[in-house]
Structure 1
Amino acid sequence: MGKLQSKINFHTAKYRADGSVGQAGPSGASQQHSPAHTGSVTSVAVLKPDLCVSGGRDKSVAVSSWRSGAALRRFTGHQREVTKVTLDSSRVFSASRDKTVMMWELHRTSGPSQHFPGHDLVVTGLAVSPDASKLCTGSRDNTVCKWDTETGECLGRAAISRNLVTHLCWVPGEPYVIQTSEDKTTRVWDSRELQVAHTFPAKQHIQTCCDVSQDGRYCLSCSSGSAGHGAEATLWDLRQTRGRVCEYKGHFQTTTSCVFLPRGPALAPSIATSSSDSTVKVWDQNTAACLATLCLEGSGPLASLAACDSSTLLCASANSGIHVLRVGGGPEPALREVAVF
């Protein structure tokens, strides 16, 4: 695959009438669409079946069709870079370096419907409960907060020394929230009382991101690193919490994001990771074998991954927007880029 075009050369492609990404062009080049953001994309999340939400250094939140690359809506209101985005079925939540979180209605463009101020430093963790009634936020100010999404009321605040939060994710169907930290640990919070229910054994490096499997049994965390040291992803069993289950090693710089891939027909469970070394890797969850590696040349550090379905990944990058990646097998490459926007 050739080098990606720079942002200055991005152009709007004529995508298929059915709105699907489809195959890459006859030359093997990916489809180039108008970029969702000006500058770095910091976070991306998927809304089924074909929408995604992203945040960027341009202080905006964008709603796009990942199948066509079409921009559908843009939310502006943050005073500084958007650091994390998450969503429920009808609302988008965005965290920012301006120390606030905002809630946006997907079908409104008149500004945020709710504000969540209260952190003293950049907000770096964001997770909404399965019933969408509660929001958990985390910050570099060492605190985790719980909020009522309807009223904006802060329902609890917990501080732990040196707990510089890097990411939050909610366990499906449970009152538990997973949190990674710069203190090299992964914590499980009971959101009901906002207390730590479990702390996994500390790793050797900063834990940068986390994800939870759809069945709620496993969680992933990933590590900072450089020159091939550290930069691994770690699988933890939320039922048997004595130690790690598996490690996935192969990135040369910090692993910035990790996600469980939805399981497709006749496919073994797998995970994906992205890194500051500009690569995305797909791994066999059980054996830790690296199934595929894709280097996104010219993209700069990769910031965030989101799984659309068992065969499609979105990857947010510092230099070249949001990449649509196809996970496949057989005669086709196991991991390839099909579009960027």
Structure 2
Amino acid sequence: MGKLQSKFRRRSDLYRAKEGAEPVPVPQVVQYEPAHSGAINCVTCLNSDLCVSGGIDQAVMVYDWRAGKPCRSFHGHHKEITKLTCFTGSTWIFSASRDKTVLMWDFAGGSDPVQTFCGHELVINGVAVSPDGTKLCTGSRDNSMCLWDIETGKCLQKNTISRNLVTHVCWVPGGTSIVQTSEDKTIRVWDSRSWQVMNTFPAKQYIQTHCDISPNCNHLLSSSNGFQGQGCEATLWDLRQPGCKVVEYRGHLQTTACCVFLPPSIGSPALVASASFDSSIKIWDQNTAACLCTVSLDGSGPLVSLAPCDSSSLLCASFNTGLHQLNLSRGSAPILKEIARF
């Protein structure tokens, strides 16, 4: 599809009306040039204006989501991209792949990878950068967690734990701890200095698919797979009391693939967001676990990744319909609206 070939997916002059009711305008959703040619597996933010995404087309795409236009693409993997992370305040991008490698790119640099991290035996599903930008952590379905020197690409530490099929990795901001989720339903907290497990959270009933750390580093979110409403929840944990479960967010009907803390906003309660294979995104009150609003993205297929851009903007990656930009109006009754696709 050419750039802006389809300017509007829905036009504001179309109306739906029930008999005897006032016509209601259909919200317009702007359709920009697609970022990828197929399903998208992950999206994250490089800065306040640019996002980075990866999918089955093996490309790493940098997109100006505010302007609705692609900026750069990077090609180097020979299998689909599974996870992405960026180093805050820099132009560094790290892409993990089913080809068992992580590649480092510089948005401000050339088209070739700056560094290659090779050593896992199976698909890499977790990648995180240390707060000082010197180390990289990766986790794989080969049951191992690896620590790398970013400058040299050398593997500094490797620890393999039976059945620890890693699904996601987070480095605690400003600290030395790393949190990872696993297909064995367990959440592990690692010490990056000793490269040993410091704490293990009580195993959940279902596979843990994703994790996120709160901005104040006090809480952890994890999400669960499931089906027909069984499992499918997100869970809030207290990192200061390992294993202490605070609340659960229940309401999705299929696997909850991603859960994230939303940036705080003055006058608004703390919020979290979740995305599910049931094609819906839910916004929750972090502390009460009340579902404040839900958006269903018809035809999108599984929703697999979320990237908060600011306190009112949220990006979501889908299997069938690309990347979705959503606007969150905060208040006594938050409203989440899809406003663009690309």
So what's the TM-score if we normalise by structure 1? 0.92
CA displacement, residues 171-201 of structure 1 (integer Å, 9 cap, x when unaligned): 1100111100000011111111211111100
1:296 corresponds to: 297
* Inter-partner Cα distance in structure 1 for 2:199 and 2:330: 38
Deviation at 1:109, TM superposition (A): 3.3
Contact 1:236 1:246 in 2 (8 A): yes
Deviation at 1:13, TM superposition (A): 6.5
Deviation at 1:102, TM superposition (A): 0.3
* Inter-partner Cα distance in structure 2 for 1:143 and 1:118: 10
* Inter-partner Cα distance in structure 1 for 2:84 and 2:68: 18
**TM-align CA RMSD:** 1.8
Contact 1:75 1:109 in 2 (8 A): no
Letter in 1 for 2:191: D
Deviation at 1:219, TM superposition (A): 0.6
So what's the TM-score if we normalise by structure 2? 0.92
Deviation at 1:265, TM superposition (A): 1.6
Structure 2: segments with no counterpart, 5+ residues:
14-25
Output aligned runs, 1:313-332, within 5 Å: 313-329=314-330
CA displacement, residues 31-57 of structure 1 (integer Å, 9 cap, x when unaligned): 110111110110000122111111110
Question: Does 2:93 correspond to 1:92?
Answer: yes
Task: Give the paired residue count.
Answer: 326
Output aligned runs, 1:190-339, within 5 Å: 190-329=191-330, 334-339=335-340
* Inter-partner Cα distance in structure 1 for 2:160 and 2:185: 16
Contact 2:268 2:331 in 1 (8 A): no
* Inter-partner Cα distance in structure 2 for 1:135 and 1:190: 13
Deviation at 1:110, TM superposition (A): 2.5
2:157 corresponds to: 156
Letter in 2 for 1:274: A
Deviation at 1:293, TM superposition (A): 0.4
Letter in 2 for 1:185: T
Letter in 1 for 2:295: L
Q: CA 1:330–1:181 in 2, change beyond 3 Å: closer, same or farther?
A: closer
Q: Which secondary structure state, in structure 1, belongs to the residue aligned with residue 273 of structure 2?
A: strand
Ranked by relative contact order (alpha carbons within 8 Å, sequence separation 6 or more), the top structure is 1
Contact 1:43 1:303 in 2 (8 A): yes
Contact 1:73 1:109 in 2 (8 A): no
CA displacement, residues 271-316 of structure 1 (integer Å, 9 cap, x when unaligned): 0000000000000000000001000000000110011111111000
Letter in 2 for 1:55: G
Letter in 1 for 2:187: T
Deviation at 1:262, TM superposition (A): 0.3
Q: CA 1:25–1:55 in 2, change beyond 3 Å: closer, same or farther?
A: farther
Structure 1: segments with no counterpart, 5+ residues:
1-7, 16-23
